[in-house]
Amino acid sequence: MTALVFPPVLSPHGTSRLILVRHGEVPGIKPPSFRGTQDLPLTDRGREQAASTAHYLAATPDIKVVASSPLSRCVETARAIANHHGGTVSPMTGLMDFNYGDWQGHFHKDVAAAYPQDYDAWMRTPDLARIPNGDTLEAVAQRAVGAANEALAQAENGTAVIVTHDSVIRTLILAILCLPLRNYWKFTSDPCGVSIFKPRYGEWSVERINESIHTHK
């Protein structure tokens, strides 16, 4: 039996709070496609979601860092949040989305038909899956946790906000909860969903995961 792989440790670094935010809606979410490292713009709905999220987080105290994937859909969402706190956005390459290689830009249904075994492995055992010419989940977890640790260190005793992608948020939550990468599909991450964690005796305590009521109209 193959041993389970765990993401690296994500330490609180003395911060008061860690907030994870997925970017707003972009083309290709419905029906689902493998968007990955394509630099897709926010839709009109995505910009509305970003504005609603910024308003939702406006009263959050002591935000010292707003870090973001360098892709524009995340930077634009992050900028809306940072503007409420007089801050700037810090793009970090480690927060970049999963590179889906040969699958990138294609709908899930088409990939499932063209690569049935590889697609099944991705859906059942994502930690073992090998996407042709793409990332591995372990590699994404390594760089994502590294970037998150950097953002937390920069936040000192304040709040760090990280705006990134579905894939990165899933791996960071697994790192926070000390769960193996096999549990990648255990969480839902909606556009502009907000997950909040607070430190407690050197570990993380869950305040909320994928809160998205603020985006509903």
* Binding site, annotated residues for substrate: 73
Cα 48 from Cα 215, distance rounded (Å): 8
Whether residue 210 contacts residue 189, with contact meaning beta carbons closer than 8 Å, is answered with yes
Whether residue 59 contacts residue 84, with contact meaning beta carbons closer than 8 Å, is answered with no
Q: Residues within the annotated binding site?
A: 73
Whether residue 198 contacts residue 16, with contact meaning beta carbons closer than 8 Å, is answered with yes
DSSP conformation letters of 89-134: EEE-GGGPPP--GGGTTSBHHHHHHHSHHHHHHHHH-TTT---TTS
Cα 74 from Cα 137, distance rounded (Å): 20
* Residue from 39, 147, 43 nearest 92 by CA: 147
